[in-house]
Amino acid sequence: MASIVTDFLTIDIKSKPYYVHAKQGYLQHNLLIAAKAGQDVYENTYNKYNNLPYALKENNHISIQEIFRDNWDDFVAHCKATNKPIRNSILTNVENMINCRNLKKGYLFFECPKCNNIYIQGLSCHSRFCVSCGRKYRDARAIEISKTCIYAPHRHITWTIDSSLRCYFQKYRALYNELFEAVNDVLTYLVQGKSKSAKKRNERLGFISTIHTFGRDMKFNPHIHTLIAECTIDNTGKKKPFTYFNYISLRKSFMNQLLKRMYNYLKENAPKKIVSDFYKLKSEIFKNRDNGFYVHAPQTECKNPKQIKKIVNYVCRYAGHPAMSESRIIKYDKENRMIYYYYDPHEDDAILNENDKIGRQYVTESVFDFIAKLIVHIPEEKVHTTRYYGFYANHSSLDTTHLPKLYKLDEINKMKTTLKWRDKLIASYKYDPLLCHCGAVMNIVPDLCYFAGYTKEDG
Ligand SMILES: [Zn+2]
Ligand SMILES: [Zn+2]
């Protein structure tokens, strides 16, 4: 069964032993019934059992929910004792996540029409911070983005900031808006800056920006990923290709705009000392950063729908990954409250020669440090971490209805079916939760369902 990890550096994540449930009497009995009902039913039942929380545990799967469940109360007490306040949105998100699928908070009740088997499904927490609910949230967002995209080449732009500015974003979270707006300023100016007629015709690019507050190492590092269509549209609906993105000017004008916006914001909202410190820092940065902030906008092959979809997909997936994926956690030492995990530095992405890469980094840290690193990335309530601009803006006056979309409606509808809880399980974990081991499909029994904490379920 599950091997005990003694040296986290030598463990091969992919070769985890697979837990075989059939050893348990009751489950073995059900598997026999399933085997009689046919190969598909057998496989379905087998996968369903292997995905039960305690089976995953036997299989060395470490869940973030479990880590928080074991340590959250003590962590909160520790923060209180050391006078470190925790934001409300963190408290709500973490508490919801800890109780995700907890039957005490409500469940759906299913029964088999053929045998007397039942199935109970705990309700989901809908927290963006929860591993499974957050994934659903990001999948839905990816579909929204795909639905918005017109049929035109697209590009991925990454906007990073000077590391000395990070602390301001952590202290003043409303500065996220300035970061988004600085990108908007730059991309608006790029088209309209030197042309009065472009301004008059309100010629705009269309783009979608997502904020990330973490680097691969999970440290606080706010930056923006932008998916941009390589064309402009004006108020007559005329579409023009726009493919030239001058790196140097993008970098410089992004730095200028951001520093200006940050300064103005702090002047209004921060104590004088912070403003004067920022003013000094700003001058320092201007002096030392001749090339502006690092902005990355690689051009990729984008000629046919397939290639365009590939880049849109890539950005959606990239912008949608969480700060920490459970698969990166190698070991959780509950007694000593230690966590072992790894990350692959982003610098390595661009390096082709394996020998030149920094390579996988392994981190050993206390559970409290790990929790602190993770929760810092929980956004404030109702803050949109993905925003639409230019002709992609929700309330844009520019008409794009005459332009063909990248995805057809039936493609989008097909994507949407994967969001449903049952279809998601079938797609991700290869089992249908409602397929009984006897081969029949279970039905919901509304009278026996229980709703304590939540009113809505994604079933
Ligand atoms: Zn049945
Ligand atoms: Zn959840």
For residue 11, pLDDT beyond 60: no
Task: Give pLDDT, residue 18.
Answer: 43
Residue 453 has a pLDDT of: 55
Question: What spacing in Å lies between the alpha carbon of 411 and ligand 2's midpoint?
Answer: 27
Tell how far the Cα of 49 is from the centroid of ligand 1, in angstroms: 15
Ligand 1 centroid – CA 19 distance (Å) = 24
Nearest ligand to the CA atom of 34:
1
Separation of CA 131 and ligand 2 centre (Å): 7
Q: What is the DSSP string of 335-362?
A: TTTEEEEEE--GGGGG--SGGGS---EE
Confidence of residue 458 (pLDDT cuts 50, 70, 90): very low
Q: Which of 165-179, 262-276, 309-323 shows the lowest mean pLDDT across its residues?
A: 309-323
Is 457's pLDDT higher than 50? no
Among the bound ligands, name the one nearest to the CA of residue 112: 1
Report residue 301 as tokens.
């092959």
Q: Which residue has the higher pLDDT, 299 or 389?
A: 389
For ligand 1, the distance from its centroid to the CA atom of residue 286, given in whole angstroms, is: 70
Burial 396-418, CB ≥16 within 10 A → b, else e: bebebeebebbbeeeeeeebeee
User: How close is the Cα of 376 to the center of ligand 1, in Å?
Assistant: 46
* Tokens matching residue 436: 């009984």
109 touches 452 (CB < 8 A): no
Q: What is the pLDDT of residue 425?
A: 81
Question: What per-residue confidence (pLDDT) applies to 206?
Answer: 94
What's the average model confidence in pLDDT over 383-389? 93
Whose atoms come closest to the Cα of 129: which ligand?
Answer: 2
The arithmetic mean of pLDDT across residues 14-35, rounded, is 63
Cα–Cα dist 349/211, whole Å: 20
The b/e string for 311-331 (b: 16+ C-beta within 10 A; e otherwise) is bbeebbeebbebbbebebbbb
The predicted-structure confidence for 186-227, as pLDDT tens digits, reads as follows: 999 999 987 888 888 899 999 999 999 998 888 899 999 999
Determine what percent of the chain falls in helix, strand and coil, rounding each to the nearest 5.
Answer: 45, 15, 35
Distance in Å, CA 29 to ligand 1 centroid: 13
Cα-to-centroid distance, 357 and ligand 1 (Å): 54
Q: Is the pLDDT of residue 178 over 80?
A: yes
User: Which region holds residue 106: left if phi is over 0, alpha if psi is between -120 and 50, else beta?
Assistant: left
3-state secondary structure of 145: helix
Environment class of residue 382 by beta-carbon count within 10 Å: exposed (0-12), middle (13-18) or buried (19+)?
exposed
Residue 182: name the closest of 157, 200, 164, 203 by CA.
157
Measured in Å, residue 115 CA sits from the centre of ligand 1 at 4
Using the mean position of ligand 1's atoms as its centre, give its distance from the Cα of residue 112 in Å.
Answer: 5
Q: What is the average per-residue pLDDT within 415-436?
A: 84
* Alpha-carbon distances, residue 300 vs 22, 166, 312 (angstroms): 49, 30, 11
Check whether 447 has a pLDDT greater than 70.
yes
> What is the rounded average pLDDT of the residues 72-90?
95
Looking at the CA of 132, name the nearest ligand. Answer: 2
pLDDT band at 24 (very low <50, low <70, confident <90, very high): low
CA 34 / ligand 1 centre spacing (Å): 9
Question: Band of the pLDDT at 7, cuts 50, 70, 90?
Answer: very low
372 CA from centroid of ligand 2 (Å) = 20
User: How far is it between the farthest Cα atoms of the chain?
Assistant: 78
> Who's near 283: CB < 8 A, 6+ residues apart?
none
The runs of H, that is alpha helices, within 232-341 are 247-269, 272-288, 305-319
3-state secondary structure at position 296 = strand
Mean pLDDT of 366-371: 96
Q: Whose atoms come closest to the Cα of 41: which ligand?
A: 1
CA of 438 to the centre of ligand 1 (A): 4
For residue 73, CA distances in Å to 80, 95, 96, 130, 358 come to 11, 10, 14, 17, 37
Band (pLDDT 50/70/90 cuts) for residue 416 is confident
Percent residues over pLDDT 70 in the chain: 93
Distance 429 CA to ligand 1 centre (A): 21
Q: How far, in Å, CA of 377 to CA of 336, rounded?
A: 25
Query: How many whole angstroms from 436 Cα to the centroid of ligand 1?
Result: 5
- Rounded CA separation 420/434 (Å): 13
Q: Which ligand is nearest to the Cα of residue 119, counting in written order?
A: 1
Return the ∠ at Cα 59 (arms to 54 and 64), rounded to 5°.
65
Q: Residues 35, 39, 45, 49: what is their CA dihedral angle, to the nearest 10 degrees?
A: 90
pTM of the model: 0.85
329-333 sheet: strands from edge to edge: 329-333, 338-343, 361-366
Q: What pLDDT band is residue 254 in, cutting at 50, 70 and 90?
A: very high
Say what the pLDDT of residue 459 is.
Answer: 40
Q: Give the SS3 label for residue 283.
A: helix
Instruction: State mean pLDDT over 410-437.
Output: 86
Distance 48 CA to ligand 1 centre (A): 14
Helix (H, G, I), strand (E, B) or coil at 207: strand
Measured in Å, residue 126 CA sits from the centre of ligand 2 at 5
